[in-house]
């Protein structure tokens, strides 16, 4: 007995033995896209350690380095930059690392916001039904009529109108999170509502109701854990979409300000030098954005297939 407990596999061992992990190892797309996502997220997290300079610190910039091509030393200062330097002499590699930080932060925060709103409304809508359900789902339908990028732009514009001009640049990141988050809650709400409607008729919920638990504890303690697995899949796919949405808004000039450039802002800046031959200012941020969006997207696709019980 004690022997058996001693040899019971640990948490990590169990995770490594699981079906899920086996499927993961067998799929090259999953391993590669996970590795790429992990690498990109880590390099964004440890940007201050990896970057050669802090692109937000004006003291570290030297205008003489402006427009230095990749790997070749600058004609004036002799400094070398892996991915070249932009118009203000900022190292493109460092701005990408810091830019990716902002892109990922906005992406994660926006998805979290959308997830919180969507899951809560979905649970309430599915559990209570009736009028609450009708109102929530009608709002969702109306919002779904419009492409989410348009909704995000509109919320951004309205929020910009509310913020006093002197704080606009500082608040831009938060407004961005709010607008992208509010534009993608519908997916979460719909899926969670459907799952909740199935779960609420199951015996464990009836039992919980019989022993007199209130509606809120039943919803959040009992039903919520059982409807989470599709949420994970939608969250991953939403993350890719949110990163692209953020980049698009910033590229259009209605997102992250030039003082806190995200990948989209960097591409916007780089587009200005497309015709004058400084290709690296545009090329490297674009490739980074593409790699980030593609790897998260592929990971989400794989996750959807792996967690889909119908495909087992």
Partner 1 sequence: MFSFVIRRILQALLVLLVVGLVAFAMFNFIGDPIDNMLGQERTQEDVDRLKERLGLDQPFVVQYAKFLLAAAQGNFGVSYEQGRPVADILAERAPATLELAAVSGVFALTLGIVLGVFTAIRRDGFWANVIMTLSLVGVSLPTFLIGILLIYLFSVELDWLPSFGRGDTVQIGGWSTGLLTTSGLTALILPSITLGLYQMTLIMRLVRSEMLEVMRQDYIRFARARGLSERTVTFRHALKNTMVPVITVTGLQLGSLIAFAIITESVFQWPGMGLLFINAIQFVDIPVMAAYLMMISVMFVAINLIVDILYVAVDPRLRT
Can you give the binding site for partner 1, defined by CB under 8 A? 142, 145-147, 149-150, 153-154, 156-158, 160-162, 240, 244, 247-248, 251-254, 267, 271, 274-275, 282, 286, 289-290, 293-294, 297
Residue 183 tokens, joined: 């534009």
What is the spatial distance between Cα 304 and Cα 301, in angstroms, rounded to a whole number? Answer: 5
Task: Give the shortest CB-17-to-partner 1 separation in angstroms.
Answer: 32
Residues ≥6 apart with Cβ < 8 Å to 3: none
Handedness of CA 208, 211, 215, 221 (dihedral sign): negative
Closest C-alpha to 155, from 116, 113, 126: 113
C-beta of 45 vs 149, nearer to partner 1: 149
Q: Of the candidates 182, 45, 173, which has an alpha carbon nearest to the alpha carbon of residue 112?
A: 182
Q: Which residue has the tokens 């086996």?
A: 22
Closest separation in Å from C-beta 218 to partner 1: 32
Give the shortest CB-268-to-partner 1 separation in angstroms: 9
Q: How many Cα neighbours within 13 Å face the side chain of 279?
A: 3
CB of 293 to partner 1, least distance (A): 6
Question: What is the SS3 assignment for 91?
Answer: strand
Report how far residue 240's alpha carbon sits from residue 293's, in angstroms, rounded to the nearest whole number. Answer: 5
Nearer to partner 1, 117 or 224 (CB): 117
C-beta closer to partner 1: residue 48 or 147: 147
Enclosing H/E stretch for 171? helix 168-183
Is the C-alpha dihedral spanning 142, 148, 152, 157 positive or negative? negative
Tell me whether residue 181 or residue 285 sits nearer to partner 1 (CB atom).
Answer: 285
Q: Residue 149 or residue 306: which is nearer to partner 1 going by CB?
A: 149
Residue 196 or 250 with smaller CB distance to partner 1:
250
Tokens linked to 258 = 């030039």
Q: Would you say 35 or 158 has its CB closer to partner 1?
A: 158
Q: What is the nearest approach in angstroms of partner 1 to the Cβ of residue 98?
A: 20
**Cβ distance to partner 1 smaller for residue 46 or 146:** 146
Q: How far is the CB of 146 from partner 1 (least distance, A)?
A: 6
Q: What's the burial of 302, exposed, middle or buried (CB within 10 Å: 0-12/13-18/19+)?
A: buried
Tell me how far, at minimum, the Cβ of 30 lies from partner 1, in Å: 15
Element (H, E) at 235: helix 228-251
For the CB of residue 58, give the shortest distance to partner 1 in the complex, in Å. 25
């Amino acid at each position: 007995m004690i022997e058996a407990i001693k040899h019971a596999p640990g948490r990590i061992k169990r995770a490594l033995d699981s079906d899920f992990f086996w499927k993961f190892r067998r799929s090259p797309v999953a391993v590669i896209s996970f590795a790429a996502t992990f690498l990109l997220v880590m390099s964004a997290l440890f940007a201050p350690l990896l970057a050669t300079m802090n692109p937000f610190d004006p003291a570290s910039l030297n205008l003489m380095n402006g427009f230095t091509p990749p790997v070749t030393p600058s004609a004036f200062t002799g400094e070398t930059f892996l991915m070249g330097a932009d118009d203000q002499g900022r190292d493109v590699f460092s701005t990408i690392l810091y830019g990716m930080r902002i892109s990922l932060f906005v992406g994660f925060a926006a998805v979290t916001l959308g997830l919180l709103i969507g899951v809560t409304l979905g649970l309430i809508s599915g559990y209570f039904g009736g009028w609450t359900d009708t109102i929530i789902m009608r709002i969702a339908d109306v919002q779904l009529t419009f492409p989410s990028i348009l909704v995000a732009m509109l919320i951004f514009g309205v929020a910009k109108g509310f913020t006093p001009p002197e704080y606009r640049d500082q608040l831009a990141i938060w407004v961005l999170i709010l607008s992208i988050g509010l534009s993608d809650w519908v997916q979460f709400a719909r899926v969670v509502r459907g799952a909740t409607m199935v779960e609420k008729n199951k015996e464990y919920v009836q039992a919980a109701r019989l022993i007199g638990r209130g509606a809120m504890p039943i919803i959040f303690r009992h039903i919520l854990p059982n409807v989470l697995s599709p949420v994970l899949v939608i969250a991953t796919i939403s993350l890719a979409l949110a990163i692209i949405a953020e980049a698009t808004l910033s590229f259009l000039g209605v997102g992250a300000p030039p003082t806190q450039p995200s990948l989209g802002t960097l591409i916007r800046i780089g587009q200005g030098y497309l015709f004058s031959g400084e290709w690296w200012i545009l090329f490297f941020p674009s490739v980074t954005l593409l790699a980030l969006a593609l790897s998260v997207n592929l990971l989400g696709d794989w996750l959807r297939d792996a967690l889909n019980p119908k495909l087992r």
